[in-house]
Amino acid sequence: MFRKVLIANRGEIALRVIRACRDLGVKTVAVHSTADDSAMHVRLADESVCIGKPPSNESYMSMPAIISAATITKADAIHPGFGFLSENADFAQMVEDHQMVFIGPTAEHINMMGDKIIAKRTVKDLGIPVVPGSDGEIRDIVKAKKACEEIGYPVLLKATAGGGGRGMQLVESADKLQESLQKCQQEAKMAFGNDAVYIEKYLTLPRHIEIQVVGDGRGKVLHFWERDCSLQRRHQKVLEEAPSPALNTEQRTKICETVVKALEKIKYRGAGTVEFLYENGEFYFIEMNTRIQVEHPVTEMITGVDLVQMQIKVAAGEPLTLEQKDIQINGHAIECRINAEDPDNFLPSPGKVTGYHPPGGPGVRVDSAIYTDYSIPPYYDSMIAKLITHNSDREQCIRRMNSALYEYLIDGIKCNIPLQQRIIAQDDFIKGDYNIHWLEKWMKLK
């Protein structure tokens, strides 16, 4: 096992990794920008190093600064969390080149799944169903028109290096194609430094289903069942739950086993999530995230497995001791993302937290890094907490979430707790009858 792990991240995920390391008897190093001098992950880690100014590209995205901090503190490994450099193959390779361990997949696997075109080709060859789309990237309008005619409108233009809902354009008819292609290419270039775009069939009423896996790098891969992440706004997840209310035992078992068999063939290492659109009983691969996910707690709650500890153990060379039969679904879990933003217009709401009371009780978990008198900086993602509830079934879990949301008090800033309260009270949500477009349609009607 490692002696010391540097955490190349901030906020609640940095705290989550600190907890996992402490349980394993591993020392931790926090890195931080000058805006995060008083952040909780800095206060609770065994050591801390300031690596730059508030902008991410001058701190949390600075590979030289992070490697230097790890070298100075004599860290054995680096955990990237999610976001920032977590899916950067160059960073993963740089860590290894400096005789440290990257707690995640190999650079080869990150590259393989990081480019969505390559990822689709790879998983298709491995036996995973994919969304109908263009055969490779599209750079000009002639090829785009031909591809759209073959696929059929509506279509979705997507950046090959995209993520987080950026670099995507819905095209419903041929007369909008050229304008949308140019806009998508420009957005992709600005966001990812790569203007390559591909085209996929736009599914009308799909759900977003993702399969959680962990592999040991030797050919053994375990799945931890699925999560339903269909409640989204502008392709950003708002609420997640596990298991999905849309699937039966046969459906979830089949798709999970398909994913495991595919990833065993490439000897995948570390935690990962294979994401699908699900419509009319069919699954269509959209992407794989080669990291721990924001919503991993719902899976931990229904399986009783510490996924972050498992990540660390696998990276340290330990074998997977669990067997697939040991991983059973126990009850139901829901996660609400709590963001520092206006619940009506979604404008960010950074500032000082003047009062803070997290909910508690059986089956309630709060992953957060904020506290009373903490000042939320304006430079980073607006998510400030994750509220997770677990109970014996979905109906009881919703009731527990309702109670927890009303007990959760955050003063001094605006946050989206009122929105989450309204969502879980809707009949469609209570019945489990929703898809990836439901939330935005409901918000326009309310």
Catalytic choice (10, 227, 291, 365): 291
Closest CA to 247 of 190, 151, 332: 332
- Cβ contacts of 301 within 8 Å, gap of 6 or more: 242, 331, 333, 363, 365, 388, 390
Q: How far apart are CA 147 and CA 139, in angstroms?
A: 12
Residue at 26: amino acid letter = V
The Cα-based distances of 58 to 11, 113, 311, 339 in angstroms read 17, 26, 27, 24
Q: Which of 298, 229, 300, 289 is nearest to 259 (CA)?
A: 289
- The pair of structure tokens assigned to 252 is 């979830």
- Amino acid at residue number 425: A
Does residue 291 carry a catalytic annotation? yes
- Angle CA(102)–CA(85)–CA(93) in degrees, nearest 5? 40
**Residue type, position 233, single letter:** R
Report the distance separating Cα 88 and Cα 93, nearest Å. Answer: 9
Q: Determine the Cα–Cα distance for residues 287 and 122; give it in Å rounded to an integer.
A: 11
Sheet holding 27-33, edge to edge: 47-52, 27-33, 4-7, 77-79, 101-102
The pair of three-digit structure tokens given for residue 360, joined into one six-digit string: 């508690």
Q: Which residues contact 141 (CB under 8 A, 6 or more apart)?
A: 177, 178, 181
Q: How far is CA 160 from the centre of its chain?
A: 18
Active centre residues (catalytic): 291
